[in-house]
Amino acid sequence: MTDKPTILPTVQSEASKAGTSPSKTLQAGTLQAKAGPQNPVLLAGRFPADFVFGVATAAYQIEGAARVDGRRPSIWDAFSKMPGRVHDGDTGDIACDHYNRLEQDLDLIQSLGVTGYRFSIAWPRIVPEGTGRINEKGLDFYDRLLDGLNARGIKAYATLYHWDLPLTLMGDGGWTARSTSYAFQRYAKVAMARLGDRIDAVATFNEPWCSVWLSHLYGVHAPGERNIEAALAALHVTNLAHGLAVEAIRHVAPNVPVGLVLNAHSVIAASDGAEDKAAAERAFSFHNGVFFDPVFKGDYPQDFMAAYGDRMPVIEAGDLAIISQRLDWWGLNYYTPMRVAHDASPEAAFPAVTGAPPASDAKTDIGWEIHAPAMGSLVETLYARYELPQCYVTENGACDNTGLVDGVVDDRMRLDYYWQHLSVTADLIGKGYPIRGYFAWSLMDNFEWAEGYRMRFGLVHVDYETQARTIKASGEWYRALASAAAG
Ligand code: FCB
């Protein structure tokens, strides 16, 4: 997610092949000395024996093969081809060419010593027009992926929607149209009926905050809409689609734990003053509550409804019961805190907040503040406010654009980021929070949405000219951690 506003705008404002070559100098023997105090073996000892260390990706960001085997375009294929939407006009047409390099990439995942792989299934490969025709060749690809994971003893964590809505559905209004939630339910049913027997856990959506607010209010992600009514419609239709998919999954694959992945925001008030604290509460409602409340409490937040209830789409009787079905787990994606101050301007719309400066200059190469304690307080706040099931950290990681020099990527900032956030994760487990696993974002450098290929989040470097994969220093460190944890 790029240009993802780190300083959150008010509602009115318009927010922003070759082979695998492990790096030469960072083999296991030298790792401990190189990593200094960030000893991966000691860190591994702070996690329970059954804790899952994994890596994560998403279909459009890595697969490529956009026109192959019956896949039809998604809204991201269209959006990325519009001038000015994605940095340098990059698209996911080829990406990491993962579709054609599946076996090699599965070997790469295995070589990292991880026990879990989080990936997303591309709706436009399975039901290419969104409704109607089912594409067997698309299902075959995920058959091969799942069989490959199972053969390597790696658990499969699938996400059904990581932002690639079949483009045809835009003709009906995309996520603003209630009909899209029923189309999603059917896709979920088709995918899970065929693939569910080899999936260890499934998430309906990845980060609805991005596919709702960032895509329909701030205009940064596909379809690039900037309209509060469209955003409110997308909000309810997405929440409903989540609930309908939970029903479908429990029907066709009752043994697969179902969850939802949320990029919960750690909202920090700029000061202890009453106005800033009230602003932080409103920001919590707008950025977290509109997803957590309906799913875990069966209602939209009151302050949010007082501000926008009259512009919300029709909420039909029974919708909230569908949305609030019990989940088996939830996923936290965390990168950076959200600092907010009260926006006193009379025209400021709810939540009437402006961004506040970071606590320090520490930031990743995409400009996001590094502040690991906010991840800990976020988890504590969420478990205090909601009755949440067990949790996986489904994404966490850093953009560090350190390049390849003499066959090595010495990405110290990323390594340090992982160390800090995994330490916080271990602290949370120590306090009794039910965190069952952690997935590094990402397995490899990939198409970073509106930022295109210039922002790199991988544990593995990708040379987009040759498609060569090179494990970075952080990847070697993560391998040492995951291997030590796996015993
Ligand atoms: C998350 C997205 C993921 C990636 C990371 C950096 O919001 O889920 O696809 O873009 O940010």
334 lines ligand 1 (CB under 6 A): no
Ligand 1 atom 11: residue of nearest CA: 1
Q: In this structure, which long-range contacts are made by residues 366-370, counting pairs with CB atoms below 8 Å and at least 24 apart in sequence?
A: 366/2, 366/399, 366/448, 366/451, 366/455, 367/6, 368/6, 368/335, 368/336, 368/399, 369/6, 369/336, 369/337, 369/339, 370/336, 370/398, 370/417, 370/420
Options 3.20.20.80, 3.40.50.2020, 3.30.230.10, 1.25.40.10; CATH for 14-486 is 3.20.20.80
Residues 327-385 pLDDT 10s: 999 999 999 999 999 999 999 999 999 999 999 999 999 999 999 999 999 999 999 99
206 lines ligand 1 (CB under 6 A): yes
Asked if 227 and 216 count as a contact pair (C-beta separation under 8 A), the reply is: yes
Provide the mean pLDDT of the chain.
Answer: 94
Report the predicted TM-score, pTM, of the whole model to 2 decimal places. Answer: 0.94
Q: Which atom of ligand 1 is nearest to the CA of 261?
A: 8
**Nearest 5°: phi and psi at 133?**
-45, 130
Mean pLDDT of 137-147: 98
Mutate to test the pocket of ligand 1, among 1, 86, 212, 260 (most ligand atoms within 8 A of CB): 1
CA of 368 to the centre of ligand 1 (A): 13
Contacts of 405 (CB under 8 A, 6+ apart): none
- Domains of the chain, residue spans: 14-486
pLDDT at residue 432 in the model: 98
pLDDT at residue 220 in the model: 98
Ligand 1 atom 1: residue of nearest CA: 1
Residues 48-77 pLDDT 10s: 999 999 999 999 999 999 999 999 999 999
Q: Residue 32 pLDDT more than 60?
A: no
Residues 445-467 pLDDT 10s: 999 999 999 999 999 999 999 99
pLDDT at residue 292 in the model: 99
CA 14 to chain centre: 22
pLDDT at residue 487 in the model: 83
Q: Which atom of ligand 1 is nearest to the CA of 366?
A: 6
Q: To which residue do tokens 């375009």 refer?
A: 73
pLDDT at residue 284 in the model: 98
Round to the nearest angstrom and report the end-to-end CA distance of the chain. Answer: 35
Half-sphere exposure in the Cβ direction for 156 (13 Å, CA): 24
